[in-house]
Structure 1
Amino acid sequence: MVIVEPYSSGNMLAPAFRQGGFSPCAVTLTGSSAPNPATLRLSDFDEHIAYDGGELGPLVDRLRALDPVAIVPGTHTGVKPADELAAVLTPELANAPDLGPARHHKGAMIAAVAAAGLPTIRSLCTSDAGDALAWIAREGLSGRDLVVKPADSAGTDSVRFVPGGHELHAAVAELLGSTSRYGSRISEVLVQEHVKGVEYAVDTFSYEGRCTVNDVVRYHKVSSRRHMALYASMEILPMDAPGNDAVIGYVKAALDALGIRFGAAHTEVMVTEDGPMLIEVNARLSGGGHPWTCELATGDNSIDRMVRYVAGDRNIPDGYPLRLTTRVVFFSVRSAGTVSGIAGLDAIADLPSCYHLQVNLQDGDHVPETADIFDAQRLGAVVLAHGDPAQVAADHREVHRIAAGAGRPGGLTIDPNREGVQ
């Protein structure tokens, strides 16, 4: 079993496949720079191949000698090479080769989904700040709020909010030529109309072109003075929660439009007053160890479904039971500084629904202003899980109170979820 770039949640794949009776092989890219390098555990693998990103032929030859049963990405940087390798070595367990660019490049992704007739956010992919200004004039978006982000990245990396479209030229020019969290040069950006609504994510496992739903997640994100879309909390919803049918239907159609036939996907959509609209599809596992959270809530996840399928199980359910109301609450800071009073966070562990408390800080640490999910994960998070949704909501409020008095002057920032928490 070949796992390309087994970082983040991708480090959960090798142990699961080994338990399922398979020998794991890691392929890592020497030219990439993972934003979470400590998550790589090469000791979990029987083989490790370092790939320099050049000619694919020698890598194909080495892997063919191992007779792989399947090839999957572990994180964002593994999507493109895993796609290319699977198309050659395991074509029966591969995504549509002709749509490969649309699965890792946001501009091509939006275009492919729009071509399938699905509603999408008005967008422009460009490498020229002047083109962006001309585009907003043509689209009648002058004076409207906009979003600018790299065309090829993930995890809210370098996402910029441009209120009223003012200083759009500067925002585009700032990103072009800079380096992403993944160590690559940003040569194109996506400029989009800023749409409002409720953000959802749907985690899926597909096989033989059939998409099965592992979970539906509702996000709560907030903005700071300089950054937007900061993760505050996320909650796994019941499969039959109101509105989920529309979200799931849209996601399945988007995955079809992108030629996803095998493997995990993490799809984010904004449900606006006009219905669901695609934010992005990630043709790999959800990051940050989310498959573990999914299993806590539902008893299953994308990894286990993948292992079962490769082992011969064709009875993979489309849907899930919600066993525990499960919410992940993220820490953040609104300004850089030195932290203190971290021991005060220990009280969170005593809350009735606290299933896991992760604090990656100690007094005296200097932390930057939280800019994206990678910064938030370096601070830590709380996993709340309980059979009673009211208990989870009450404990979320208590996490907010405790965090406000610990961490640094003004406390760590925890924004209560809008739904039944404030």
Structure 2
Amino acid sequence: MTVVKTVLIVDPFSTGKLYAPLLNAQGIRCIAVISTRDLPEHFTQDLIADNFDQVYHWEESLLITLETLSLSAVIAGCETAIYLTDYLTELLDIPGNSRITSDLRRNKFSMQQALKHHQLSHIASHLLSSPSRIGEVVAKLDESATYVVKPLNSAATEGVVFAQGKREVETALKNAAWQQKNDLGEVNLGFIVQSFIAGPEYVVDMVAFGSTYIVASVCKYTKIQKNGSMFVYESLDTLDPQAPELQPLTDYARQAAAALGVRVGPIHMEIIWSDAGPVMIEAGGRLHGGIAPLLFQQVYLPDLLSLSIDSYLGHPRPQAAAASQISHGRIGFFCSDESRTFEPPSPQALQSAQADEAYCGHRYFMRAGDTTPVTIDFATCPGLFWLQSPSAQQLDVSTANLRKKLWA
């Protein structure tokens, strides 16, 4: 009799919703556990219940049920799943990442301390768990330096503020969302003040097979100065993970992943390549967000999703240390230079955009009639598009075409 494997996915939202269809196609049964009832609706509406035999809300008594399922793996679907995923793998005796090191993959101060402990390049950081320490921390800062103020446990760029000198840092901290819920539905645990690191920004996605890290993708952000901001995102381009010139970056990323205690599954790492070398900004023990994993399926072999599934299921790791680039990919970000009422493109413009040879898809973060914010960072980006082509030059041609057709 054939034994059907069962996999548990914690919080199968965002790109975590991509796992179940692929597992189902392999004949693997999927169970979903939602980590908390406090998750915001824009997260939970991502749930595709038909992909799961059962959907549970977490409570301690659920352990009795989970112990009867003979689970093959517990997968972290998104940021909110990290702590519970590590907890369950330990209690159910399933290979995973230790809950002793969970904080290193979720808390932005702890992950920098881990890098420091392992004598890796890191960012000098000041931790504040309450507003009572604002004066003490500000007194330690340099009046002429630039700093970044960010929440400990938020996602993306939510709550991130760039500040010049002591006075702006003090203002940012006094205006910060202390003890308020963030976009993930979690209460902000505190804030950190970090030195600003200048240089191009890269994203390295890896998958852990024990102490070996396979580089699944390397991407580079292009940012431009616009609308009074120096940090408007223009595009994210895929690069060849095996390119010799990227080896200092990927070597550092592997060392950083080991410092964060990643042993199973994907790790998404944001890195600034400064004049002094690569420095990790932050990392997450989950898939790259947004549409990137779907684009990677067309750009890399093996791709991030398939590697992640192999890692969770205990399959042998690839012999190559990094994926091969088989095509070129780009995610382009729309930019709004004024606050205006959003009108989607005409059917003719949409049809013309979709006929572009590199076009893969596009997405707006607003509906018709909404007011577009002026774009100054990723949080105020009104939408994006993604492209794939054997020709890198074609990406530039198609980018200009789609910006004209989809964002007039």
Aligned to 2:251: 249
8 Å CA contact retained: 2:138, 2:169: no
**Contact 1:342/1:363, CA 8 A, preserved across alignment:** no
Match of 2:212 among 210, 213, 216: 210
1:372/1:58 Cα in 2 relative to 1: closer, same or farther (>3 Å)? farther
1:399 corresponds to 2:402: yes
SS at match of 2:28: coil
2-structure distance, mates of 1:35, 1:372: 21
1:66 partnered with 2:73: no
Residues 1:30 and 2:37 are matched in the alignment: yes
Q: Which AA in structure 2 matches 1:80?
A: Y
**1:229 to partner: Cα distance:** 4.7
Question: What number of residue pairs does the alignment pair up?
Answer: 397
> In the TM superposition, what whole-angstrom CA distance separates every residue of 1:102-147 from its partner, at most 9, and x where no partner exists?
11111111111111100111211212446355435435x2221111
Per the alignment, residue 44 of structure 1 pairs with 51
Match of 2:283 in 1: 281
Q: Is residue 358 of structure 2 the alignment partner of residue 353 of structure 1?
A: yes
CA distance in 1, matches of 2:49, 2:233: 29
Q: Which moved more, 1:392-401 or 1:75-84?
A: 392-401
1:358 shift after superposition: 3.4
Matched, 1:238 2:245: no
Aligned-residue CA RMSD (Å): 2.5
Quote the residue 1:13 is aligned against: 19
Of the three residues 176, 179, 198, the one matched with 1:177 is: 179
Do 1:35 and 1:182's aligned partners in 2 also have CA atoms closer than 8 Å? no
The 8 Å contact of residues 124 and 132 in structure 1, kept in 2 or not, is answered as no
Aligned equivalent of 2:99: 97
The alpha carbon displacement at 1:367 in A equals 3.5
Provide, for residues 367-401 of structure 1, a one-character-per-residue CA deviation record: whole Å limited to 9, x for no partner. 4445765664xx43211111111111232233344
Contact 1:342 1:361 (8 Å CA) reproduced: no
- SS, match of residue 100 in structure 1: helix
State the shift of 1:38 in Å.
3.1
Q: Which runs of 5+ in 2 are unaligned?
A: 1-6
Distance, in Å, in 1 between the alignment partners of 2:33 and 2:165 is: 44
Which residue is equivalent to 1:166? Answer: 167
8 Å Cα contact 2:293-2:304 kept in structure 1: yes
Check conservation: 1:32, 1:182, Cα contact below 8 A.
Answer: yes
Judged with a 3 Å threshold, the aligned counterparts in structure 2 of structure 1 residues 90 and 264 are, in CA distance, closer, same or farther, namely: farther
SS in 1 for 2:150: strand
Partner of residue 3, structure 2: none
Residue in structure 1 matched with residue 112 of structure 2 by the alignment: 110
User: Which letter maps to 1:122?
Assistant: A
Determine if contact 2:358/2:388 at 8 Å carries over to the other structure.
Answer: yes
The alpha carbon displacement at 1:17 in A equals 1.3
Contact 2:209 2:265 in 1 (8 A): yes
For 2:388, give the aligned amino acid.
A
| Inter-CA distance 243–124: structure 2 relative to 1 (3 Å threshold) | farther
- Structure 1's 279 and 311: CA in aligned 2 closer, same or farther, altered over 3 A? closer
The 2-side partners of 1:45 and 1:337 are apart by: 41
| C-alpha contact (below 8 Å) 1:157/1:372 kept by paired residues | no
Residue in 1 aligned with 2:79?
A: 76
Q: Is the 8 A contact 2:227 2:376 kept in 1?
A: no
Q: Decide which moves more: 317-326 or 76-85.
A: 317-326
Any conservation in 1 of the 2:345–2:406 contact (CA below 8 Å)?
no
Deviation at 1:173, TM superposition (A): 2.2
- Amino acid of the structure 2 residue aligned with 1:392: L
Cα contact 2:207–2:311 (8 A) shared by 1: no
TM-score, normalization by structure 2: 0.89
Partner of 2:121: 119
Q: Give me the whole-angstrom Cα distance separating, in 1, the residues matched to 2:32 and 2:231.
A: 32
CA deviation digits over 1:208-241, x for unaligned, max 9?
2221111101112356668775543111101233
Structure 1 CA distance for aligned equivalents of residues 124 and 353 of structure 2: 42
Q: What residue identity is the alignment partner of 2:16? A: G
Letter in 1 for 2:370: D
Structure 1 residues 354, 265: CA separation in 2 closer, same or farther (over 3 Å shift)? same
**Cα-to-partner distance string for 1:60-88 (whole Å, 9 max, x where unaligned):** 22211212111111111111111111122
Secondary structure of the structure 1 residue equivalent to 2:61: helix
TM-score under structure 1 length normalisation: 0.86
User: Residue 300 of structure 1 aligns with which residue?
Assistant: 302
More moved, 194-203 vs 328-337: 328-337
Say if 1:23 and 1:225 are closer, same or farther in 2 by CA, change over 3 A.
same
Give how far 1:206 is off: 0.7
